[in-house]
Structure 1
Amino acid sequence: MDLPEGLTARPYSAADLDAVFAVAAAQQQHDIGRVDVERADFEADWGRSSFAFDTMTMGVYDGDRMVAFAELIHDGRAEASVLPEYRRRGIGTALAHWAEDAARRQGYTSIGGPQPQGSDGERLLEKLGYEQRWTSWVLQVPEGTAVPHRDLPTGYALREATPDDYQAVHDVVEDAFLEWSVREREPLDDFLAVTVRRPGHEPWMLRVVTDPSGEIVGTAIVVMADDESGQVMEGYVERLAVRKDQRGQGLAQALLVDAFEQARQHGAPRSGLSTDSRTGALSLYEKVGMVVVDTWVNRGIEL
């Protein structure tokens, strides 16, 4: 890697969790004015069977201090952060080139990721030839906002999932997301690593809707986001999916409202989620009282 004099680079490990989180948190605080990322986000990704530290991570160090990092997530997706005080020194460019080379070695066909619109990261990727693939929005139900209850159609039921439901939930999520997401199907074990095995997960956080025959036709997955003191700040709907032949009946709205209600009952003052321009779902979320708080641009490059 072509780094400024005095800096070094090497793959990191699970023991570097605090250092990776500190860099990511500092970047978010600088770019969007708050910290949404959690240590559990990294722990969950690192727990996937498809993840390998030695080939999919790279940290940049000033002495013993990590000042930047990058890691591969899957084909088409990488994450990277640079401490604000270390920017404009070529570190981001070096990490982008590392990610491209590492992705090629993994057999990936493209690489990229989301950056806050107009941020240093987004401008850098544009300069490096990364094309805009889609726009993403972070939405929230503001604290104190009342969200009207949504009734289900006759014969449908909404409940907490059980371990016997995991395969069906995975199928509903992957079938729905692969209608617009160009990637390989996520293995069940990787899905479980970032959902039910994610640190802090509790059974109530995985919600399902069943049809009159008892078959799972929709799901919502909730993550409870804490601040550094451990106080719950937000109930975040990580994934929301309804089977294609079951749409148009209000199931998604019912799942969303239920997720918000459950999160509030478990101490979250507000709820949030993200969506992007590929899904066409922005209006759905606005109908249940959500408002856009951030806009992100996903840029990528073919390999």
Structure 2
Amino acid sequence: MWLPDGYRCRSVSLADVAAIHRLVASCERELHGRPTTGADRLAAELSLPGLRPESDTLLVRDGTGGPVGYCWVQGRRARVHVHPGHQGRGLGSGLLGWAEDRTRQAGGDRLAQTVSDTDRAATALLRAAGYSRLVTEWLLEVALPHGPHVPDPPAGITVRPFRPGDEQAAHQLTEDAFDEWQPRRKTYAQWARRTVERPTFVPAASPVAFAGEQMVGAVLSLEIPAHGEEGADGYAEADADGCAAEGIEGDAEGYVARVAVRRDHRGRGIARTLLLQAFDTFHRRGRPACTLWTHSGTGAFAMYERLGMTVRRSSTLYGKALV
């Protein structure tokens, strides 16, 4: 067994979310000065369709029973966390090796992991294990002290907030757009668990665009705790025009989880209109800022800059062929 003396491990259940959240928060304080991932997101990850916690997750505990390491793997993706006070003892390399073995057992031939660019230890570990850089991902933000000017939609396009019944069309639209760079399509259940079924989903800040009866553009938004950050999900979940992309009391900010415009309607300013509509809604809801992730493969960075967005932090997606 790869575990150092004094540690033990087991699979994870939803009952472990609070403990895992404490572990992840400790890692993020070390890297960013504050926790950035909510328990809501960790619970969503463990509930993803196709993820089998009994075989696809691992929780490492020290002699006191406290959680000090955590890993999950699904398809070609993995996530690994090691408590700052327990790094340098082989836990990270052990969890990474376990994730690779689990991927091979499930028939996978590649594995990828996103790490913050401030996490030099994880970056060094991945490079030493044969992982190479795939894309750079940026968490962008825009301050919302004032509501932005929202332009009229392009000719022939109507825009309205997301409403019940839009789910299947939005899934089809966003997955078609993301097909250009994502490794695989998400089923409706996988997609919905990360978007419209999240308790933090905000229909009012999720405008959709129509040409006649056909949905041709969509922005899907969440509300997250202020200074919290949704992690980039594979290739970044939010992208631009021409690219795919429980209510919270008190302080919160907006987060755009998906932006997509149908290929034959790109270049018309639809994404810009939808994003500004979402920003304006978050401003009117009293949210001080809105964030989204994008990555270097989309070519969307310049458009977001024109909307006044700046980089809050960056991360890199590393991948490796498993032989």
TM-score by length of 2: 0.88
Q: Report the more deviating stretch, 123-132 or 92-101.
A: 123-132
Residue in 2 that maps onto 1:128: 129
Pairs within 5 Å for 1:219-298? 219-226=218-225, 231-298=250-317
Per-residue CA deviation, residues 182-214 of structure 1 (Å, 9 max, x unaligned), is x22110111111112112334324331111x12
Alpha-carbon separation, structure 1, partners of 2:66 and 2:277: 43
Shift of 1:145: 6.2
Residue in 1 that maps onto 2:241: none
Alpha-carbon separation, structure 2, partners of 1:64 and 1:113: 27
Shift of 1:230: 5.0
**Partners of 2:254 and 2:289 within 8 A in 1:** yes
Alpha-carbon separation, structure 2, partners of 1:42 and 1:234: 18
**Partners of 1:44 and 1:199 within 8 A in 2:** no
Equivalent pairs, count: 300
TM-score by length of 1: 0.93
**Aligned pair 1:165/2:166, yes or no?**
yes
Alpha-carbon separation, structure 2, partners of 1:247 and 1:83: 44
**Aligned pair 1:46/2:46, yes or no?**
yes
Residue in 2 that maps onto 1:180: 181
Matched position secondary structure for 1:163: coil
**Partners of 1:38 and 1:226 within 8 A in 2:** yes
Per-residue CA deviation, residues 198-249 of structure 1 (Å, 9 max, x unaligned), is 12334324331111x1210111111101159953332010111111111001
Q: Report the more deviating stretch, 45-54 or 170-179.
A: 45-54
Amino acid at match of 1:157: T
Task: Label 1:165 to 1:230 Cα distance change in 2 as closer, same or farther (>3 A).
Answer: closer
Matched position secondary structure for 2:165: helix
Alpha-carbon separation, structure 1, partners of 2:45 and 2:160: 27
Unaligned runs of 5+ residues in structure 2 are 229-247
Shift of 1:162: 2.6
Identity within the alignment, %: 32
Shift of 1:143: 4.8
Unaligned runs of 5+ residues in structure 1 are none
**Partners of 2:13 and 2:53 within 8 A in 1:** yes
Q: Report the more deviating stretch, 30-39 or 49-58.
A: 30-39
Alpha-carbon separation, structure 2, partners of 1:38 and 1:125: 25
Task: Label 1:136 to 1:226 Cα distance change in 2 as closer, same or farther (>3 A).
Answer: same
**Aligned pair 1:217/2:216, yes or no?**
yes
Matched position secondary structure for 2:89: coil
* Segments ≥4 residues shifted beyond 4 Å: 227-230
